[in-house]
Homo-oligomer: A and B are copies of this chain.
Amino acid sequence: MQVTDTLTARRRFLQPFSGQALDPPPVWLMRQAGRYLPEYRETRSEAGGFLDLCYTPRLAAEVTLQPIRRYGFDAAILFSDILVVPDALGQGVRFAEGEGPVLEPIRDVAALKRLDLSRTQEKFALVWETVARLRQDLPCETALIGFCGAPWTVATYVVEGHGSSDQGEARRWAYRDPAGFQRLIDILCEASIGYLEGQVAAGADVLQLFDSWSGSLADDQFDAWVIRPTARIVSTIKARHPHVPIIGFPRGSASLLADYLARTGVDGVSCDTSCPLPVMKRTAETGRVVQGNLDPLLLVAGGDALDARVDAIRAAMSGQRFIFNLGHGIVPETPPAHVARLVERVRRKL
C-alpha cells in the first residue's frame, strides 16, 4: 500500500505533463532553497564561496533537501547556479559579497577562445553527483528538477561581466556582430545540452531553462537569441530523452509566449509575476503546462492579501494543467512562516 501511495504521489508533480489537471495543483517555489531559511544560512557558512557550495555535492544536496523537509513541496530543484556553465567553460566566475556575480567579460569573437568546451566535465561532474545524491535522498514522492540558464541569459552575464538592468552590452554585440554573437550562443547551447543530459542521466525528472533576461529583447532578437537556441536544446534533449518534460521560463515575455511555446517545443512554461492570469489560462488551454506566478513580494507581505491572491491564481487556473509557483525567486527577507501559510493555502480544498 505504502509503495503504491508514494509512487502515485511521486508522479503527482509529473501528471500535468501527461495531460492531467490536478486540484489542488502541485507546488514548488523558485529559489525555495536559499537565504530566507536559517538552516540554509548555516549550511552556507560551511562552504567558502557561493560556487563552492554549488560544487560540494554533500552541501548542495543538503540545501536542496531543506525546503522539502520543511514544506513538503512536490518538487525539489537542484541547488546550483546558472553561471556554472560559463564557470565550467573556463571564464571564471566569482560571487562578490553583496554584489552578485563577477566575470571577466567577453565582448568579441577573439575572446571566445577563453571558453573551452572540452573542460566542462570537471565541474559539471560535481553537479551531476549532487543530482545523483538527491535522487537517493529525496522522498520518492518528490520530483527532482534539473536546470540551466538559457543561452541568451547566460550570455548576458558572459558579456556584461555582471548582472545589469538592460543587458546592454550583450544586445549591442548581437546587433553589431550577429555572426560572432551566434558563436557565443552556439558554445553555450553545446555546453548546456551536455550539462542537462548529465543531469537527466543522474536522475533529474524534469528540466527547466531559465531565461531571466529575455524581456529586454525586440521580437526579432527574441526569435534569434531565445527561441532558436531554446528549440535547439529542447530538440536535442528530446531526441535522446523524450520522456523528460522541459519547462521554459522566458521572463518578461508574456506577449511572446504563444510563439515561444509553438516554436521551442518545451512542454511547459513558467510565467513571471507580470503575466496576466488570463494569458496564463489561455496558454494552458493550448495544452501546455503552465507554472506561476505569485509575486515574491506578496509572499513577504503575507496576510489576507496573500491568501486572496493565492485563491485568485488557483481559481483562474482551475481545471488547467497548472503548477503553483512564484513569478520569480523567493527573496531573502521572506518569513518562513509565510511560505508555510502559502503551501497550506495552495493545498486547501477550494
Contact = CB atoms under 8 A, between A and B. Distances in A.
A18 interface: no
A220 interface: yes
Contact of A255 (B175, B216, B275, B331): B275
A300 interface: yes
Classify the interface of chain A: helix, strand, loop or mixed.
helix
Contact of A274 (B176, B217, B273, B278): B217
A238 B172 CA distance: 41
A-B pairs, 7 with minimum CB distance: A175-B301, A254-B255, A219-B276, A255-B255, A171-B297, A218-B273, A218-B295
Contacts of A293: 218
A175 B297 contact: yes
B175 A327 contact: no
Interface string A182-225: 00000000000000000000000000000000011111111000
Interface residues of A, number: 39
A180 to B, nearest CB: 13
A337 interface: no
Interface of A: 165, 168, 171-172, 175-176, 178, 215-222, 252-256, 259, 273-279, 293, 295, 297-298, 300-301, 305, 309, 312, 327, 331
A300 B172 contact: yes
A327 B255 contact: no
B301 A172 contact: yes
A256 B255 CA distance: 9
